[in-house]
Structure 1
Amino acid sequence: MITDSTVELVQSAFINDLFHDIPRIAIPAGESSKNLSQLEQVLDFLAEHRLNRQSLIFAVGGGVVGDLAGFAAACYMRGIDFIQVPTTLLAMVDSSVGGKTGVNLASGKNLVGAFLQPQAVFIDTLRLDTLDKREFAAGMAEIIKAGLLADRELFEKLEQKPVTSSNDPNLVQIIRRACSIKAQIVSADERESAASGGRALLNLGHTFGHAIENVTGYQGVLHGEGVAIGTVMAADLSAMMGLISPGDSQRIAAVFAANGLPTRLPTAIPAAKLLDAMGRDKKNRDGLLRFVVLSSIGEAITHDNVPVDLVMKALSNGGAT
């Protein structure tokens, strides 16, 4: 079983009841653990305990644990099975679903990885009771994104009644819907090979967001916060391209804010650094920046030839210098 130091502490009763004396490794909590060095330590752990091709890994934790454990499962003995047990809202609605695994490099996020579908994903919303408000809100960013991609009604529900607590009576239904949207998109384009649209649509806000995470050294900005800021920038870009109205762009920013998320950079970052980081994004095609933009609330498209001056304007509007 693979977890992290925080989950091992706050979910100790759950882990001990469920996994008893199954060998476990707890990696340091946080995005900084999602690297090749930590992967090597996990692989050594699997070898020391003599796992074989009939063995099974449980990934118990948030997105970092799931991505790292899944990649370890994909690499070890050229692939063994694993099961996702997400303990954060973001992992429940996004990273545990879809089969993408991997680690970061200094050059960028998720640049090394593999596709490996988990044998199962077990979601228990009681695990969310230990999340602080900021981590809970980070998960809401991916749910809002799902509504923007494929479900205007979901977006409008979150606009009318923001969800800011794990006690919300609508949360289970909302999680189920967000997972369904992602599963539907992934099933049509599992390896993100479609010439346009397809699984790449799930990266709405992520071209901006991953650049923010990379330039800030994966410190100070949670992934969900980067997605929120990045999606607001993407909506602004969509409005400047004439795809949606400025009013819809403002609505999108307001919904993120109402659900407890930032909509601008917390500190000024040079726009040139962010643009450089975007140039290393794995979604780019033929040397061109590739963005997911909105054609309406509830529908998105990929665009491979966005004018750089509009990208810089969106960055500036979001707080870059």
Structure 2
Amino acid sequence: MKGVIGMNYRNRHLVAALNHRRWIAVANDKVLCKEHLLRHGIATPRTLAVIRYTSEFTSAYDRLVQEQTGFVVKPARSARGRGILLASRALPDRVLLQGDQAWPRRELGFHIMRILHGEFSFGMPIDAALIEERIDPDHSWVLDELPGAVDLRVIVKEGRAVMAMARLPTLFSQGRANLHAGGVGVGIDLRTARTVGGIWRERPISHHPDTGQALAGRPVADLDRCLDLAEKCYQAVPLGYMGVDILRDVRRGPMVIEVNARPGLAIQSANQRGLLDFLAANPDSHHEHRSEQTPSAPAGHGPPSAGGRRPRPLVVDAPAGREPG
């Protein structure tokens, strides 16, 4: 692949050069980042509770029981999906987890205590637990019959979406879409709003490892809305280089679940293209001449976004010899 960038290039020329330390700190704290997103009207899952001290667990748990809904527990400062817990419902004496598992109430308390002590965070001695509603994901998005929800990772440079991939859960990843957990990364052509190939466990693949379905050529409904949402995050958290993770709710459409100040580089392998070409592209080309052909949205989403698909940005020849990522 031409124009591939590596970790050294990313850290020096993108993260260090374009991301102010203040906004890196905001992105690294899910609670603080979410406050900024909400101020700018960006759709995110509803917050049910934020726990900073063990003494707050009882009242937070009582609210979860009253909500009678699924929820997600996240360490505020973790990365790569560490410490995230998915639950179907909280009962007075136990928690029903994703699948057939159940935890006693005290086990959830132990998990949150581990979060507060910084076990999953960026080397911080203390952390907070963010508890959000568990949205109702569109299980037919990109690929159906998967053991979990699909999400999108969008790379945004100075407010412009330049590259995207879909992340697909697998049995190996235990239903999580995170690539580090064993999810599949599938590149997306922004011009056609269709998938272009995939990687799994750092190797290229053409079919999903569990279902056998082909990965390339799949339509990505609501892609324009996702790209617009990712670009809007730059107004709330002005990082010059960031990754935005998006889930698609069946009723409410795309929602931002995380902003990352140091997005990984596997998206290049998923797209079979180097990032350097897209980072150097004409900024205006991204928004011009949208195609009229748009993957249709399922019922309940309202009308699809006008125009629907964006052209692939113009590319320039990249210098040879860039380190692989």
TM-score, normalised to structure 1's length? 0.31
- Structure with a larger share of its residues in helix: 1
- Structure with a larger share of its residues in strand: 2
TM-score, normalised to structure 2's length? 0.30
